[in-house]
Amino acid sequence: MGLNEETIKSLAQKAIDMRNFSYSPYSHFRVGAALLAKNGEVYGGCNIENSAYGPSNCAERTAIFKAVSEGVTDFEAIAIAGGPEEGIRDFCAPCGVCRQVMIEFCRPEEFMIILAKSSEEYKVYTLAELLPLSFSAKDIQ
């Protein structure tokens, strides 16, 4: 399964826009995410920090948890854009915890991860490429 260029650019821009909602007073590193469900709905997420650090949540998990809390668990792609407050300098890949959450809900060979610097400059990977030899529900059955 593949995404068309228009969809990729739209998700990338939504992820960039979601950076505006980031609550990042400690790291000053703003991350936005746009999660595309198989039903066509797009769920936005941003990073939300906490002074105790541990309770902080990444943009990717915010988007996934928002969708799951509304009964949606079948996803096609996620776009991620992150960087310091003054702007995006490089591609921002999901952390290990976010990758592990993705493997819970997504098919690794099909789920696409879009790393965006802009709606015109991005890289696309499968979850399998970013999380080889993953541990999932199939491993504990």
- Residue 11: burial class (beta carbons within 10 Å; 0-12, 13-18, 19+): buried
Alpha-carbon distance of 50 to 45, in angstroms, equals 16
Type of residue numbered 1: M
Of the residues 5, 60, 70, 76, only one is catalytic, namely 60
Distance of alpha carbon 22 from alpha carbon 31, whole angstroms: 6
**Do the Cβ atoms of 64 and 73 come closer than 8 Å?**
no
- What would the two tokens of residue 104 be? 């819970």
Active site residue 41: no
**Catalytic amino acids?**
60
